[in-house]
Amino acid sequence: MRIATWNVNSVNARLPTVLAWLESAQPDVACFQEIKCVDEKFPREAFESLGYNVETHGQKSYNGVALLSKFPMSDVVRGLPGDESDEQARYIEALIEAPKPVRVASIYLPNGNPIDTEKFPYKLNWFQRLHDHAKGLLAYEEPLALCGDYNCILTPEDAAKPDEWVNDALFQPQTRAAMNGLKWLGLSDAHELGKEPKGTYTFWDYQAGAWQRNNGIRIDYALLSAQAADRFRGIETHRDARDMEKPSDHVPVVVDLDLEG
């Protein structure tokens, strides 16, 4: 099974690009972040025409996540549990009803900037809620993939110029500690499993020629439970997608799992 995660940065604004990539890469499951539309405005028919079932958790103009699957989906969870007052659409989860089922979540973790505002505590609180929810999911001892834009630069190697990020919420010690705490629950980073080389980035800002100068960062992850990690067969970071017409500032990450055995 090929599971992709991609912050598309407005699905309607980049629909031809997204569809072209899907037709080329052919993932079985796609986790989208920053769809930036309400559920009713999501271009469902365009994806259904490619053979995907679609589940969304949208929000007008901001945020929004989606799951696309060539298999049926069940047990859909919209919104991260733990705070009923949180109106930001940043989490969707479903059981992918493949012959060997796998639970997949599409995650858009808060950015957290500026760090001297309420946005940074919100980010850390959201991370804690994700930690608590993931702990519960891991108790099921089933294949699980928590995929998405985590807005975390975990190590200095995950940035071309780490010194430029020392005052940014993405690279704060609290952010990195929260990410490590999530992993220490028993989740494996597919990037590490696949031994991707240093300089494998997933985001380049639109500003200051970041793409042309390869001034990138790695903030998009696929975290796998032990049952999924045992079936891990490979990972691809589709860097070329950043060179497509009207690209997102992120690129897709695709993980291959062998769910046959």
CATH of the domain at 151: 3.60.10.10
Task: Look up 149 and say whether it is catalytic.
Answer: yes
Q: Choosing from 52, 91, 108, 150, which is the catalytic residue?
A: 108
Catalytic status, residue 108: yes
Q: Are strands 2-7 and 29-33 parallel, antiparallel or unpaired?
A: parallel
Integer-rounded Cα Rg, in Å, for the chain is: 17
Which two tokens mark 246? 């009207």
List the helix and strand counts (H, then E) for the chain: 6, 12
What tens digit of pLDDT does each residue of 29-82 get?
999 999 999 999 999 999 999 999 999 999 999 999 999 999 999 999 999 999
pLDDT grade for 208, boundaries at 50, 70 and 90:
confident
Spot the catalytic one: 28, 52, 91, 149.
Answer: 149
Give kind and range of the element (H or E) at residue 75: strand 73-78
- pLDDT for res 261: 63
Give the count of domains, the chain: 1
Of the candidates 183, 182, 158, the one whose C-alpha atom is nearest the C-alpha of residue 171 is 158
Give the structural domain span for 42: 2-257
Decide: pTM greater than 0.95.
Answer: yes
Burial environment of residue 123 by CB neighbours within 10 A (0 to 12, 13 to 18, 19 or more): buried
